[in-house]
């Protein structure tokens, strides 16, 4: 299960459009999922945190000011809210979209929970897992050997580290990488190494067209319909 690589052969009439579009944070709650699914993306992205033994969708926020601390909005709401768990998202996406998991925590614990949820609710839903915690992805691969894994790359240091090991690491099927770290040659190098390239977060139409021209396999965006239209106009 993975974002199919862009290739040189002509697409069939029934082939999905490339690059695939990923709804950024589209799985981070009931209302977000409903809105994201209405835009018909190929994938719904979800930020997953292990909380009380379950995988819950939440998006971290950074405190204002010079504090290097992350907090989760979940902890700051005074009124109860219905939690949105991975199983909820998988059921909502049945027959409608694939799911890109962005795993945020839970080293040593997440893999077994993820395996149970996918076994119970994942039938018929394509799922990919990504994380900036690469050791966590290694644990996930042991628990879920059929799951395609994408190393998430946010900083130049992470990029340099990945480039130093990518030819010797058989684990990742691809990368999920900040778009400012890419150029045409980098995309080609990843493809030559057998890796699919998903990039984030791209809301500018001209930048999306440029990335598509370089052959990226997927684009994460907050503007699925607008980016789809821009790419269609340029094809």
Q: Which residue has the higher pLDDT, 95 or 3?
A: 95
Please state, in angstroms and rounded to a whole number, the distance separating the CA atoms of residues 222 and 50. 25
Q: d(Cα 42, Cα 40) in Å, to the nearest integer?
A: 7
The domains located in the chain, with CATH, are 20-234 (3.20.20.190)
Digit-coded pLDDT (tens) for 74-113: 444 433 378 999 999 999 999 999 999 999 999 999 999 9
pLDDT digits (tens, 9 = 90+) for 115-157: 999 999 999 999 999 999 999 999 999 999 999 999 999 999 9
- Torsion of Cα atoms, 219 then 220 then 225 then 230, to 10°: -30
Q: Which residues are CB-neighbours of 174 under 8 A, at least 6 positions away? A: 2, 3, 148, 150, 151, 190, 195, 196, 197, 198, 217
Distance, in Å, from the CA atom of 19 to the CA atom of 123, rounded to the nearest integer, reads 25
Which pLDDT score, from 0 to 100, does residue 9 have? 35
- CB contact set of 185 (below 8 Å; sequence gap of 6+): none
What local confidence, expressed as pLDDT, does residue 61 receive? Answer: 53
Residue 122 — left, alpha, or beta (φ > 0 → left; ψ -120 to 50 → alpha)?
Answer: alpha
- pTM for the model stands at 0.88
């Amino acid at each position: 299960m993975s974002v199919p690589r862009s290739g040189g052969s002509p697409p069939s009439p029934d082939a999905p459009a490339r690059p695939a579009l990923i709804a950024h944070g589209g799985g981070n709650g009931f209302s977000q999922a409903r809105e994201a699914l209405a835009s018909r993306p190929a994938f719904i992205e979800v930020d997953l945190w292990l909380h009380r033994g379950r995988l819950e969708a939440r998006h971290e926020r950074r405190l204002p000011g010079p504090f290097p601390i992350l907090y989760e909005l979940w902890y700051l709401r005074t009124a109860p809210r219905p939690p949105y768990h991975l199983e909820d998202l998988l059921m909502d996406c049945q027959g409608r979209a694939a799911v890109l998991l962005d795993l945020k925590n839970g080293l040593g614990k997440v893999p077994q929970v993820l395996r149970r949820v996918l076994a119970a609710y994942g039938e018929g839903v394509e799922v990919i897992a990504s994380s900036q915690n690469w050791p966590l992805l290694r644990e996930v691969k042991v628990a879920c050997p059929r799951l395609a894994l994408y190393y998430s790359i946010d900083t130049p240091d992470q990029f340099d580290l990945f480039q130093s090991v990518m030819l010797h690491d058989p684990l990742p099927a691809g990368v999920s990488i900040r778009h400012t770290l890419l150029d045409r040659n980098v995309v080609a190098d990843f493809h030559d190494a057998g890796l699919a390239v998903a990039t984030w977060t791209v809301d500018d139409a001209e930048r999306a067209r440029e990335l598509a021209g370089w052959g990226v396999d997927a684009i994460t965006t907050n503007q699925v319909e607008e980016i789809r239209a821009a790419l269609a106009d340029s094809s």
